[in-house]
A and B are shown apart, each in its own frame.
Chain A
Amino acid sequence: SQQGEEDPQALSIQEGENATMNCSYKTSINNLQWYRQNSGRGLVHLILIRSNEREKHSGRLRVTLDTSKKSSSLLITASRAADTASYFCATALLWETSGSRLTFGEGTQLTVNP
């Protein structure tokens, strides 16, 4: 199965609420990344967290990483309708020293209702 698996598969919230998406993976990683994809378009990098980091922030995004549980979460605060998209976690395996070769999960479809 996929190295990264997101949960839930789909999430529907109201504008202004927070959205939390989770990602689990199976083997040791160099880093974990989150990407966003608007329908049928290219993925856009959101944030990268390295295996020795536990939490990272970028604007309204907060990512946590728990390597003991092999899991990560992406929190989007004060969501907006424009945040509606699919969100993917991707892992770079430990021995991939460039940190570039990624394995993607199947994604969480987030819908933010106005």
Chain B
Amino acid sequence: EAQVTQNPRYLITVTGKKLTVTCSQNMNHEYMSWYRQDPGLGLRQIYYSMNVEVTDKGDVPEGYKVSRKEKRNFPLILESPSPNQTSLYFCASSLWGEQFFGPGTRLTVL
């Protein structure tokens, strides 16, 4: 089944404790992206990647890192999480245009 998976689905952590949210797709898509969704702000793009080893900042990259060492994986790294990074995070992949979204990761930073 073609899908985008994210792990974990739910995470509660404390300020400053490094964490990684994994994202994997099995559709051989070149393009992958991370978004955060907050009430009243819609979805905002954090980082995106056009292909392996090619990443670029989206609209709200501060406080986040990404890597794209393999085509299928695109982890999101929070080196020192802060409470303002409490949000619902989505990973997505795309070949041309249409994006396929993962189920989301709800992150709470205390």
Contacts and interface: CB of A to CB of B under 8 A. Distances in A.
B90 A100 contact: no
A25 interface: no
A46 B104 CA distance: 18
Interface stretch (A10-18, A36-44, A71-79): A36-44
A93 B44 CA distance: 15
Given A40-B88, A100-B31, A2 B101 contact: no
B88 A102 contact: no
Contacts, number: 69
Task: Tell me if B's interface is mostly helix, strand, loop or mixed.
Answer: strand
A26 B42 CA distance: 17
A102 B102 CA distance: 16
Contact of A106 (B41, B97, B98, B102): B41
Interface of A: 2, 31, 33, 35, 40-45, 48, 88, 90, 92, 98-107
